[in-house]
Structure 1
């Protein structure tokens, strides 16, 4: 009967043979250091866990009811030597884990520029980083290569032993950018930019995906990472350029719409300011960029003059923009086009004339100012209300 139970477990053991231990067999220096951090931390913790588990079994067996030869000491309650072992060993392990975590947190900071290509090869002046702009869409990944003027959908390529500098954002909801063979995961959030530095030391094709659930098409939100030689990467860029695809703002707005299991697509040319517009959430024509809005707010805002400029802001990822408020997209209108903002001199924006908050009954009436005709109607309205 026992043999039959063991045979019944064999199919499950076969399934375990299909597991991919890529985290423990990475292809990049950053991922290798992260693997070592996991292994060392696990071993340090097992130094306490294993003896405790072994002693639990030992004491349960030695002091079982049927063992009449075990020493019986009902009055024993303290041992200085035993107390030293019980408290000093975990304390030392905690100190080691704390030091290891502190060093790993700083040395493996995703925002930190790489200091080496591999353990035996430091960064040199000729090792120019590969800049890649990553956009998490619903439910696909867009990669823009600003230095080459190309882009790809659901496929990422990089040469071996070349530092990679990622700039990561998202179009709608939060995702998590993760290539286990290359580096740890980092979040992609709309209106924000995160960074990641990594390097691949082995050629091959590896899997990348979102490690953060983001809706119905999440299961298909993965891509291939192609780690190639420098010559093969140049061929990949040449193939992208010859594909003839163009990724402009209108093309991006179509691509931004939610879709599942999109095939690999290459773009031979990309709007050079597309990523900046995506990050500032102003890809649509006439929409105010987030950077422009924060700049205006930092200088005091537009006051009452800015009220008419503010339109309802809505986002519905199934109908793209503005579905709850009608078929037309609604957003905060821009004062000028993004091309006009570039190189424009800094403008001083006057703050509202009266910053006194309205707190209810008992406030003094606002002073009449000919520069603000609306104050006349306000005074008239208050008089009419008080007279009645």
Structure 2
């Protein structure tokens, strides 16, 4: 999960913004650090050539330097953020090769459900995509708010109950990547990881056909089990028998999960047996 090793155009643009921002800030940080040592050396007690001005109160030149450099830094950082935020709009289409793939993403406690409506399949904690193809992600939450993030592909985006967010991505290299939840959402949050398998177009078609023939059935009944709080050990694949499942989850036609529940609360411990509760 290395953000400095981009595997797609969005992640590459994120990396460029990060490096540009650091370079702009270093333009003021490094000279300031150098000036600290230079001033300390020049105005040391043993330097008889250093000027001593006990009545000094104001210098227009110093004020100009002190205010102009930070102002220019803020303007440059603001420009980089403004341009980048528009160019990297999550819903902005990303060009690619081959047919685009639509993936409907549902965040649960504590797992990720990926639905492929065109292929009529789904997978749990495993996202398989064809290399070079535009990826059209539609995201919602079947429980509390969460954050979908694949560092090597870029762009964190929230999943929220009762609404759908959109994210356009593309993976440029065949291989295995790692995705995660970037939002604290309860006890199983740290295990809420998912694999990203980037495969060739023929391999993706073969994988989808295999799942459609041999996968378990995913309908409302199967989903009602998935929505329960758990950290699954297996990465299951499913045949999608309810094409409106994602729509019903996003519109809350299917009730959302209960969300995380506190097990122990140090701020308000349970009273001992037989003791009166004091409020």
- Structure 1's 272 and 315: CA in aligned 2 closer, same or farther, altered over 3 A? closer
Provide structure 2 residue ranges, at least 5 long, that are not aligned to the other structure. 262-279
Q: Give SS of 2:156's match.
A: strand
- Is the 8 Å Cα contact of residues 245 and 266 (structure 1) preserved in structure 2? yes
Partner of 1:37: 17
- Structure 2 equivalent of residue 166 of structure 1: 137
Separation of aligned partners in 1, 2:215 and 2:209: 11
Counterpart CA distance in 1 for 2:64 and 2:240 is 68
Distance in 2 separating the partners of 1:205 and 1:159 = 12
Contact in 2 for aligned 1:140/1:261 (Cα 8 Å): yes
Structure 1: unaligned runs, 5 residues or longer: 1-19, 118-125, 285-313, 320-388
Separation (CA, whole Å) in 1 of partners of 2:237 and 2:73: 51
8 Å contact 2:186–2:260 — kept in the other structure? no
Residue-by-residue CA offset, 1:73-118 (whole Å, 9 max, x unaligned): 223344433333332222222222222211111110112222x44x
SS at 1:184's partner residue?
A: coil
Match of 1:251 in 2: 222
* Deviation of the 1:283 alpha carbon: 2.5
Which stretch shows the higher mean deviation, 159-168 or 262-271? 262-271
In structure 2, relative to structure 1, the CA distance for the partners of 1:92 and 1:244 (3 Å cut) is: closer
Question: Is the Cα–Cα contact under 8 Å of residues 154 and 262 in structure 1 kept in the other structure?
Answer: no
What's the counterpart of residue 141 of structure 1?
112
3-state SS of paired residue (1:45): helix
User: Hey, what's the Cα distance between the residues in 1 that align with 2:28 and 2:260?
Assistant: 52
What is the deviation of 1:50? 1.0
CA distance in 2, matches of 1:318, 1:216: 7
Distance 1:84 1:316, change over 3 A: closer
- Residue 209 of structure 2 is matched in structure 1 by 238
RMSD (Å) for aligned C-alpha atoms = 2.0
Q: Which residue of 1 aligns with 2:5?
A: 25
1:386 match = none
The one of 152, 155, 162 equivalent to 1:181 is 152
Corresponding residue for 2:179?
Answer: 208
The normalised TM-score by structure 2 is 0.87
Greater RCO, 1 or 2 (C-alpha within 8 Å, sep 6+) = 2
User: C-alpha separation between the residues in 1 aligned to 2:115 and 2:245?
Assistant: 9
Give the TM-score taking structure 1 as reference length.
0.63
**Residue in 1 aligned with 2:85?**
105
- Helix, strand or coil for the counterpart of 1:24? coil
Question: How far apart in 2 are the matches of 1:136 and 1:173?
Answer: 8
Please give the secondary structure, in 2, of the residue aligned with 1:183: coil
User: What is the alpha-carbon distance in structure 2 between the residues aligned to residue 92 and residue 253 of structure 1?
Assistant: 55
Structure-1 separation of matches of 2:44 and 2:189 = 53
My pick for the range that moved more, 244-253 or 258-267, is 258-267
2:244 to 273, 285, 292: 273
1:35 is displaced (CA, Å) by 0.8
